[in-house]
Amino acid sequence: MVRFLPFLISLALSVYALFSCIQTPEEDVPHLPKLVWIVLIVFVPFVGPIVWLLMLRLQHGRRERAVRPPAPGGRPAAPDDDPDFLKSLDRYRDPRTTVKPPEPPKEPEAEQDDQPKPKPQDENTSSEPDDGKT
C-alpha cells in the first residue's frame, strides 16, 4: 500500500493541475502558452503540476495587488460611522416609535394678545353668582 502512495499523490496533483490549466483563460496563463503547460503537467510528474500551481499563484498575487484600489482616506470605515448613511436611514424610521424633541414654549405676550385677560378676584368675593339667598 505504501509503495502506491507516491503514484497516487502524483496522479491527484496532475489531475488537479490539468483541470486548473484547462479552465484558466488564455490571457491569464503565466509565461508559456496553455498547450505547453498541459504537456508539462502530463509528461513531467510532480515537477510539472507543482510549477504550474506556483506560477499561477504568483500571477494571481501580482494581479490582485495591481487591481485593488487604494483605500479612500476621507471616508469612514463602517457605515454606522458615516453621517450621510445615517441620515438616509431616517426615511425608514417608524414615526410611532421615534422620540420627538419637545416643542419650545410659546411666548406669553402672544397668548395675551389673542385672549382677554381674566380679572383677578378678591378673596371675599366668590365666583358663584349671588342670587340674594344666604
pLDDT one-digit tens code per residue, 106-124? 776 655 555 666 665 555 5
Give the pLDDT confidence score for residue 114 in this predicted structure.
56
Averaged over 19-48, what is the pLDDT? 88
Mean pLDDT of 45-74: 74
The pTM of the full predicted model, rounded to 2 decimals, is 0.46
pLDDT at residue number 31: 84
Angle between helical axes of 34-43 and 47-67 (0-180°, round to 10): 140
Query: For residues 130 and 78, which has the higher predicted lDDT (pLDDT)?
Result: 78
DSSP 82: -
Residue corresponding to grid cell 463602517: 78
Q: Stretch 31-49: mean pLDDT, rounded?
A: 89
Length of the chain: 134
